[in-house]
Amino acid sequence: MKTIAVYCGSGTGNDPIYMNEAMKLGEVLVAHGLDLVYGGATVGCMGAVADAVMESGGKVIGVIPKKLANVEIAHEHLTELHIVETMHERKALMAERADGFIVKYESILHADVIAF
């Protein structure tokens, strides 16, 4: 296993622990020699995981729909940033690039995230 997809959303949660744990997750991924593929944004828990991976010397692949990239939330400092047309393309590319998946509990409410 080399690359993990993380689905954790663009929100910060209602408690600082969510952002703290997101940063810890990024550090743990790098400590285990794992790369990250995620939704490509700078905001929320997903941005925190990506930043922690980058700061720890890891590789980050972001995948973001053009509509979201155009509102300036695309993370411009990643190893790779793929801008796609649709959410479906985003999820498909993330699944294609990942060897495993981590899904934050609230993301499970969006069943299409894990039903590919």
- Note the pLDDT tens digit of each residue in 53-96: 999 999 999 999 999 997 868 999 999 999 999 999 999 999 99
6-60 pLDDT tens trace? 998 888 888 899 999 999 999 999 999 999 999 999 999 999 999 999 999 999 9
What pLDDT, on the 0 to 100 scale, is given for residue 110?
A: 52
**Around Cβ 73, how many Cβ atoms within 10 Å?**
17
Cα–Cα dist 85/20, whole Å? 31
Q: In degrees, to the nearest 5, what angle opens at C-alpha 47 toward C-alphas 65 and 66? A: 10
The three-state secondary structure class of 62 is strand
For residues 104-108, average pLDDT = 59
Cα–Cα dist 16/36, whole Å? 22
Cβ(85)–Cβ(110) under 8 Å?
no
What pLDDT, on the 0 to 100 scale, is given for residue 116?
A: 46
Provide the mean pLDDT of the chain.
Answer: 89
**Around Cβ 10, how many Cβ atoms within 10 Å?**
14
